Amino acid sequence: MSGKDGRRRAIIINVTPQIENGRFPVKRIPGEEVVVEADIFSDGHDDIGAVIAYRKDGSKTWNERAMTHIVNDRWRGAFVVRETGLYQYTLYAWVDHFSTWQKALHKKIEAGRDIVIDLQIGLEMIAATAKRIRSSDRKQLLYIEKRIKEEKDTATAASFALSQGTSNIMTRYPDRRFAKGFEKVLRVRVDRKKALFSSWYELFPRSLGPGNTHGTFADCEKTIPEIAKNGFDVLYFPPIHPIGTTHRKGKNNSASCEPGDPGSPWAIGSVEGGHTAIHSQLGTMKDFKNLVRKAHEHGVEIALDIAFQCSPDHPWVHNHPEWFLTRPDGTIQFAENPPKKYEDIVPLNFESENWPELWNELKNVFDFWIDKGIRIFRVDNPHTKSFRFWEWCLQEILAVNPDVIFLSEAFTRPKVMQWLAKIGFTQSYTYFTWRDSKHEFIEYLTELTRTEMGEYFRPNFWPNTPDILARALQYAGRPSFINRLILAATLSSNFGVYGPAFELCVNTPVPEKEEYLNSEKYEIKDWPPRKEDSLAGLMSRLNQIRRENAALQQTRNIEFLRIENDQLICYLKIASGDRSGPMLIAVNLDPHNTQTGWVEVPLEKLDITDNRPFKVYDCISDTAYTWKGRFNYIELNPHIMPAHIFSVHTL
Amino acid sequence: MSGKDGRRRAIIINVTPQIENGRFPVKRIPGEEVVVEADIFSDGHDDIGAVIAYRKDGSKTWNERAMTHIVNDRWRGAFVVRETGLYQYTLYAWVDHFSTWQKALHKKIEAGRDIVIDLQIGLEMIAATAKRIRSSDRKQLLYIEKRIKEEKDTATAASFALSQGTSNIMTRYPDRRFAKGFEKVLRVRVDRKKALFSSWYELFPRSLGPGNTHGTFADCEKTIPEIAKNGFDVLYFPPIHPIGTTHRKGKNNSASCEPGDPGSPWAIGSVEGGHTAIHSQLGTMKDFKNLVRKAHEHGVEIALDIAFQCSPDHPWVHNHPEWFLTRPDGTIQFAENPPKKYEDIVPLNFESENWPELWNELKNVFDFWIDKGIRIFRVDNPHTKSFRFWEWCLQEILAVNPDVIFLSEAFTRPKVMQWLAKIGFTQSYTYFTWRDSKHEFIEYLTELTRTEMGEYFRPNFWPNTPDILARALQYAGRPSFINRLILAATLSSNFGVYGPAFELCVNTPVPEKEEYLNSEKYEIKDWPPRKEDSLAGLMSRLNQIRRENAALQQTRNIEFLRIENDQLICYLKIASGDRSGPMLIAVNLDPHNTQTGWVEVPLEKLDITDNRPFKVYDCISDTAYTWKGRFNYIELNPHIMPAHIFSVHTL
């Protein structure tokens, strides 16, 4: 019962977006809008005014944007973020006595009541406002006051008090003495554009050598132009560090390793060094830096894989045994998922007495590679490391380097995947890999884009990875590879492929598993040269279409369209805040048979008059069709091309 | 990065119930359960342990209840509150290394792996636990340790380590060094039973005099036995304070008042006094106290109407003009809803400079009547007074008098009605009065009982009030009065009637309005003596059924049953935590025609074997039926009795 609080009558609750009550920021890229909603009301029946206040972190001044009432005491407003880094936002609401007075005056006039005293009440408010303000508006307000005061005819005075001009100026300077502020300041993390729009290509550099020889960074440099030509802007490598020899895995994850087997790159660390060293067969740090530079020249960024686990030969195991679990027999506990054993790997113990040193050392790994020019990290299995560590580490790094992107490689339970995105990962692997039916895709995309997840979880769709040869790819050959590729690249603005195996439609699994037989994880592959039937050309085309159409550079803008065929999935994407055209995508999910159907086009969203024909241009096949009305015919033969990617044009 | 926090790996989020992030308590009565759920998880794949900790406010010790995993990282637990007042609750969660170890050991044994070292790891945990604990369990744990250690046969040692006995004792003493506490302490307000189960009867004491003379508290005393006989336990009076004479309203809300017109009791205050005075024609404070005592002897509590508004003659207007809005001409602003004027009433101004004094004075009104023995207040239009005032006032009062009940008389927008319940009102008027169809009832009850509202909003169902003669009552006479009465008394455990007019089925409205013609608000009524066709007998019966059946003393336990007739509504109520029988209610919503249908009875919830007959006993008509199977026939003639209230009995 102190201060002015008792007179602050407005209530502001249920503010969205708000991740974990404001503990974590929502995510945006420059130019994107933050749409803020809240339940705002007060006692009685007075009018309410409300604004969003926002600013860049560290800025001294707040900007404001008006909120408007939608329905049922729900209010909405929006602001646009422009720069990378953190923004803050909060809300203010107050009882608007002047607007309340105007409405009452209007009703009293209509009822023929005497309004002489009422006009005086309004004049007092106008005078008080004029006294408060300094700008040129003051002069105008004083003029309005004078006009009303001196006007002999009450009706004329009233119409002046109710005029749009009076309303405008009074709305600009509301009496906010008793304004109530929302009790929290919420935040937006603004990442660079690539956080939302990126095309990833994964390869093992060691497979790039001639024949079966160990590839090098120099070999990598030679492939950069081709990767750039195919339109990828992120080239991601599995770990490039020295590989342990103790319990090294052989081909096909065999527990016994033959001479010459290179081992899994995820068994990190040897006498050569650990997470800040380079596997010597790949080259030197100088070679690496050259490669990063060369890639940069071609518009390609190198992404490193950060896997916080060690081979038993890692220097940390010797220098910091307290960072690991020691068994009663004195040995270090290796990784296991009973009854499976992973003896080539020892996990870190985040309950170590020495956890602060461990945290610092792990963060140093990122800082080391950031210093070498790396700005994108794919983090291996982050869900098996302490969440508190990630929350701290990612925030610390982003505070200094807001352009760093972290991709969370967690394939685990929904709430855990969400949590990793909340605590700071920029992008996330998803369940896309295991979604097959039209219903599943629509349900999953709806969850990703229409729920709170859309505010903080940026999906990155991968049809395959070195760990996963999805069942959908195993049985139907090339048409299934093409439909998964087009789905990944058009459903989500972030997508990636484990490239060589995908381009060549490699689809032989370990029997009964979703894993590659003779996986590149355990051996050097000599991929054959790409022939005409490789998917490289289609990838290049797809990435070009993505680059040229802003609608495909967002994910939350998707809207599924009705088409009465369960094998045909159709969706519309319209770029918000951009004048580039709408995109209408249709994919045949059946890799065997031609499917046909009539898609319902929401003409009103495309500004197309009901009976006017319009043009859809298929960016894949370079052909145009003239459509008319709400229902239009689609026919897709998977053996020719299982999809259309149409840009839509009014005629 | 300080303290132990870095090793606290568990995450606790999305805790329910939690009203406005814990700003407000949930509501219960003694004996009710609080079911708490949360998303709880940690990194990795280790087992988790979690508890609810709770205590009465002011108690030094916390009690704990284990939580268990339901599905998808959602956990649930529950505790029961026993005493009125505030309770606190919070959660703790931790990684359970022993249970994780047990599961791994089990899998390793199945896989035939050597477990000698693993047994040692378990032994270390058992020894550490024994060292920590003091009770007799310590001895048992030391014995377990010895047995495992000395056992030569590994398999036998392992089976001992995995035994239920070992699990039980280790689960009782988990290693909680790195337990994570939920960051908030949440609260429960435990009200007395009448907060959840009450039967209200509203009358105007001034109409109880012989003929058209002004009734008195002494007249009231005489009606107490009848009200008690009819089973009501709350007798609620419109304001009993002196009524202003300035701009007093005449009959039918007329702006001009005739000599002898008594005025609206809501135009509070005259030279005789204000909110702490008694209208002299009703009697003295001594008479009032006598009445309260007499009612108490009959198990009836008097509820007062607190309406924070004044007649222009109220002492506050003279003594504290600063608590009101003064117009430029020096007059006090009367109430208005333009173009309507309420000149017999002036509203308080909660933006008064002197708001702290005003708040104190208003709270004093409650304290004054509490001192006179009143514990139930029906608060008039609380939504037109400052929410911050109510939040403060109700909390202050309940802190001293936890047995006080506040009924919020707000018929306004949903979020405002919810807010009043959140900030402290014990019960709330509802939209029941305007719900007509089966679909509307089911939808509304589902909202009240199955959403978060069930945690804090206690509905009180009124088929009529002196302000509202619902349309449903205007056209169909007695059958519609009976079906609304039975719906109110069985859908909701709190219900009330504006009694005399309801008993007599008075249904003449002001034309085109939902208001009573010749409303008792503006005149003294001489209600005729109750004849056989009054509803008093049915009310008595209904209240008896409610008293005898615990299932009708709760609201959230409702479950609607399928019956393929839109005019028949059926629902089942089973008392949680009570062995009294289930109640099955069927109401014919059509006041004109007999309706029939087959109700689907969920036998599994009634512990009835599919093919065994069972008995349903109609508590209204005193007749029994034998039913069998899931589908049973219902036929209700509204001109005889439009409802069954069955108690269900297995045979």
Question: pLDDT tens digits, residue range B205-219?
Answer: 999 999 989 999 999
Q: What is the pLDDT of residues B33-49, one digit of tens each?
A: 999 999 999 999 999 99
- Res A315: pLDDT: 98
Burial class (CB in 10 A: 0-12, 13-18, 19+), A363: middle
Contact call for B120 and A328, based on CB within 8 A: yes
Contact call for A44 and B384, based on CB within 8 A: yes
Mean pLDDT of A585-593: 98
Q: Is it true that domain A1-95+180-190 has CATH number 3.90.550.10?
A: no
Q: What is the pLDDT of residues B387-407, one digit of tens each?
A: 999 999 999 999 999 999 999
Find the helix packing angle between B477-491 and B536-548, rounded to 10°.
Answer: 20
Facing residue for B1 by CB, picked from A9, A350, A356: A356
The catalytic position among B145, B409, B520, B523 is B409
User: Is A323 touching B (CB cutoff 8 A)?
Assistant: no
Closest Cα to residue B320, out of B290, B285, B284, B349? B349
The CA dihedral of B26, B29, B30, B35, to the nearest 10 degrees, is -40
CA distances from A182 to A19, A22, A179, A185, A188 (A): 15, 12, 10, 8, 16
Mean pLDDT of A536-562: 97
The CA dihedral of B531, B532, B535, B538, to the nearest 10 degrees, is 150
Q: What is the pLDDT of residues B421-448, one digit of tens each?
A: 999 999 999 999 999 999 999 999 999 9
Residue whose pair of structure tokens reads 């680059």 in the numeric block:
A547
Q: What is the pLDDT of residues B439-477, one digit of tens each?
A: 999 999 999 999 999 999 999 999 999 999 999 999 999
Contact call for A387 and B11, based on CB within 8 A: yes
Tell me where in chain B the CATH 2.60.40.1180 domain(s) lie. Answer: 553-650
- Res A4: pLDDT: 58
Q: What tokens does B436 get? A: 């007509």
In the chain, the amino acid numbered A10 is A
Average pLDDT, chain A: 96
User: Is B71 touching A (CB cutoff 8 A)?
Assistant: no
- Res B332: pLDDT: 95
The catalytic position among A361, A380, A520, A590 is A380
What's the pTM value of the predicted model, to 2 decimals?
0.95
Residues 6-35 of A with CB under 8 A from B: 6-9, 11, 13, 20-21
CB atoms within 10 A of CB A60: 5
Closest Cα to residue A233, out of A488, A494, A425, A29? A494
Question: B374, B366 in Cβ contact below 8 A?
Answer: no
- Res B340: pLDDT: 86
Cα end-to-end distance, chain B, whole Å: 66
- Res B5: pLDDT: 80
Mean pLDDT of B305-320: 97
Closest chain A C-alpha to B583 CA, distance in angstroms: 36
Tell me where in chain A the CATH 3.20.20.80 domain(s) lie. Answer: 199-240+278-307+353-548
CA distances from B147 to B98, B159, B514 (A): 17, 11, 81
Query: Which residues are registered as beta bridge partners of B588?
Result: B568
Q: Measured between beta carbons, which residues in chain B are less than 8 angstroms from residue A48?
A: none
For A268-302, give one letter per residue: b (16+ CB within 10 A) or e. bbbeebbbbbbbebbbeeebbebbbebbeebebbb
B581 DSSP 8-state letter: P
CA pair distance B15, B90, nearest whole angstrom: 9
Query: Which residue out of A388, A396, A408 would a mutagenesis test of the B interface target, given it has the greatest number of B Cβ atoms within 10 Å?
Result: A388
The catalytic position among B145, B301, B344, B380 is B380
- Res B1: pLDDT: 59
Q: What is the pLDDT of residues A20-41, one digit of tens each?
A: 999 999 999 999 999 999 999 9
Average pLDDT, chain B: 96
pLDDT at B589 over 60: yes
Mean pLDDT of A127-134: 93
pLDDT at B2 over 60: no
- Res A447: pLDDT: 98
- Res B274: pLDDT: 98
Tell me where in chain B the CATH 2.60.40.10 domain(s) lie. Answer: 1-95+180-190
Contact call for B45 and A359, based on CB within 8 A: no
Contact call for A41 and B419, based on CB within 8 A: yes
Look at the domain B97-173 and name its fold: Methane Monooxygenase Hydroxylase; Chain G, domain 1 (1.20.58)
Question: Quick check: bond before A17 cis, omega within 30?
Answer: yes
Which stretches does DSSP call E strand in A373-453? 376-380, 405-409, 427-428
pLDDT at A101 over 60: yes
Find the helix packing angle between A154-161 and A116-132, rounded to 10°.
Answer: 40
Architecture of domain A199-240+278-307+353-548: Alpha-Beta Barrel (3.20)
Contact call for A6 and B356, based on CB within 8 A: yes
pLDDT at B150 over 90: yes
Q: Measured between beta carbons, which residues in chain B are less than 8 angstroms from residue A104?
A: 336, 338
Q: How much of chain A, in percent, has pLDDT values that exceed 70?
A: 99
- Res A2: pLDDT: 52
Q: What is the pLDDT of residues A189-230, one digit of tens each?
A: 999 999 999 999 999 999 999 998 999 999 999 999 999 999
Contact call for A1 and B356, based on CB within 8 A: yes
Q: How much of chain A, in percent, has pLDDT values that exceed 90?
A: 94
Tell me where in chain A the CATH 1.20.58.80 domain(s) lie. Answer: 97-173
User: Is A640 touching B (CB cutoff 8 A)?
Assistant: no
CA dihedral (A270, A275, A277, A281) positive or negative = positive
Question: B274, B374 in Cβ contact below 8 A?
Answer: no
* pLDDT grade for A578, boundaries at 50, 70 and 90: low
Contact call for B1 and A416, based on CB within 8 A: no
Question: B430, B445 in Cβ contact below 8 A?
Answer: no
Mean pLDDT of B631-644: 97
pLDDT at B147 over 60: yes
Helix (H, G, I), strand (E, B), or coil: what is residue A431?
coil
Q: How much of chain B, in percent, has pLDDT values that exceed 70?
A: 99
Q: Is it true that domain A553-650 has CATH number 2.60.40.1180?
A: yes
* pLDDT grade for B622, boundaries at 50, 70 and 90: very high
A57 assigned to active site? no
Residues 538-557 of A with CB under 8 A from B: none
B409 assigned to active site? yes
Question: B125, B99 in Cβ contact below 8 A?
Answer: no
Q: What is the pLDDT of residues A459-480, one digit of tens each?
A: 999 999 999 999 999 999 999 9
Facing residue for B328 by CB, picked from A45, A117, A414: A117
